[in-house]
Amino acid sequence: MPVDTSKRGRDVSSAVETSRPTAPPAMVTEPVSASRRALLVGGLVAAGGAAVAASRAQSQATPDPMAGHAMPGGAVDPYSAHDSGMAHGNMTMVGQVDHARNGFDPTAMLTDWEIGRTEVLPDGRTLRTFEVDAIDVEIEIAPGVFFPAWTFNGRVPGPALRAKEGERLRIVFRNLGSHPHSMHFHGIHSARMDGVQGAGLIDPGEEFVYEFDAKPFGCHLYHCHALPLKRHMHKGMYGLFVVDPDPARHPEFAAVAASRVLGSPENAEWQELAMVMNGFDTNFDGENEVYAVNTVGQAYMNAPIRIDKSRPVRIYLMNATEFDPINSFHLHGNFFDYYDTGTQLTPTLRTVDVIMQCQAQRGILEFSFADHEDGLYMFHAHQAEFTELGWMGFFDVREAGA
């Protein structure tokens, strides 16, 4: 995807790292000392040494038709969801993130699979080529809160790479950033292609070509493996790497395998979503102030994810959160089957509503709303702190065409 490369080469690694102190016109900023537990109080956002108040800004929320619970005497219940942006005890971010400025939109990222370009090799196999650039980019992770990210192709998470089992993969990696970087793939490959020192870790201005076979099938990831690893991960250098199973290699589960192959008739029956759980330490004290799925706090509260209740849902979920040992996913009003790492065609867990993942753990969730009434169904981390600091959203479940 086209990216703004005007910030290439910018060094964002000075001893004191700060985000830009500007904000949208309707926002007012002032320096404060804030911990993550004090980030959201009464409609305020305070992160990375900035508190963002919006006396004239309105919460970018979609009205909840199930909201508005009155208490005896006509009082309003402070714990009811008066609209989809004010759930979880009215703890919310005020305003909206400029997705156009960021160069990526969390809603589009749900279904934006990067499939590269293909050609046929002399042996008849498919060669699939991806091009990835490391770029320093400042991004907005919550209304008025900016973060100096290191990115793959100008976005966090990086592009969701997708291939098919057995294909030959070629990834052309260019380092246009200000620090040494690499791409380390969770999969099967030779030591020469591991993305560590001497095997694909390159300096600014250099290029490296990774080449290996797409195996095993499943929901995987890639990330920078430069040291210090926690810094390169936290700054945004990670992304999904999905390998679809080849049905011909799994005749006993051919129908299930076919349903996972992007572009197949069986796959078209599914609503597939790419979700990467992440967090951001905006004042660089080793604790995250903002949590999210696909980077922008409360993105899917402000713009609930439309779900056609007649079609099943499949989520490719990965945890890239630094500084916290565990992240989680909880679905309201429903249960799902879970395929840990996605390397099996039968579920690891059946009929669960919470799944925990450590960093780099990933899996596939499958569920259906076919028997549900229409409405907004919440999903979020089941660490309340993460939820109130941005990691929550809604599925807007409706009949097709409604």
The DSSP string of 105-154 is -HHHHTT-EE--EEEE-TTSPEEEEEEEEEEEEEEEEETTEEEEEEEETT
pLDDT at 42 exceeding the cut of 80: no
Give residue 290's pLDDT. 97
Give residue 400's pLDDT. 87
CATH class for the domain made up of 100-398: mainly beta
**pLDDT band at 88; cut points 50, 70, 90:** low
Rounded to two decimals, the pTM is: 0.82
179 known ligand binder:
no
Mean pLDDT for the stretch of residues 165-174: 98
Percent of the chain with pLDDT over 70: 77
Long-range contacts of 203-208 (CB under 8 A, 24+ apart): 203/175, 204/9, 204/175, 204/176, 204/177, 204/178, 204/179, 204/180, 205/175, 205/176, 206/174, 206/175, 207/172, 207/173, 207/174, 207/175, 208/173, 208/182
Give residue 139's pLDDT. 98
pLDDT at 93 exceeding the cut of 50: yes
Give residue 222's pLDDT. 98
Question: Which residue in the block uniquely carries the two structure tokens 């020192």?
Answer: 197
186 known ligand binder:
yes
189 known ligand binder:
no
Distance, CA of 64 to CA of 61 (rounded, Å): 9
Give residue 24's pLDDT. 36
**Which tens digit of pLDDT belongs to each residue from 339-362?**
999 999 999 999 999 999 999 999
pLDDT at 23 exceeding the cut of 70: no
pLDDT at 53 exceeding the cut of 70: no
Average pLDDT, the chain: 84
Give residue 33's pLDDT. 37
How would DSSP label each residue in 207-264? EEEEEEE--S-EEEEEE--PSSHHHHHHTT-EEEEEEE--GGG-GGGHHHHHHTSTTS
358 known ligand binder:
no
Residue 122: other Cβ atoms inside 10 A: 5
> For 77-81, 92-96, 180-184, which range has the lowest pLDDT when averaged over its residues?
77-81
332 known ligand binder:
no
**Which tens digit of pLDDT belongs to each residue from 246-295?**
999 999 999 999 999 999 999 999 999 999 999 999 999 999 999 999 99
The larger pLDDT score, comparing residue 366 to residue 89, is at 366
**pLDDT band at 333; cut points 50, 70, 90:** very high
88 known ligand binder:
no
Beta-strand (E) ranges in 294-370? 305-308, 313-319, 327-331, 336-340, 349-352, 354-357, 362-367
The distance from CA 389 to its chain's CA centroid, rounded to whole angstroms, is 15
Mean pLDDT for the stretch of residues 39-61: 34
Mean pLDDT for the stretch of residues 138-146: 97
In this structure, what is the dihedral angle of CA atoms 47, 50, 53, 59, given to the nearest 10 degrees? -30
181 known ligand binder:
yes
Mean pLDDT for the stretch of residues 213-217: 98
Do residues 287 and 35 make contact, with C-beta atoms less than 8 angstroms apart?
Answer: yes
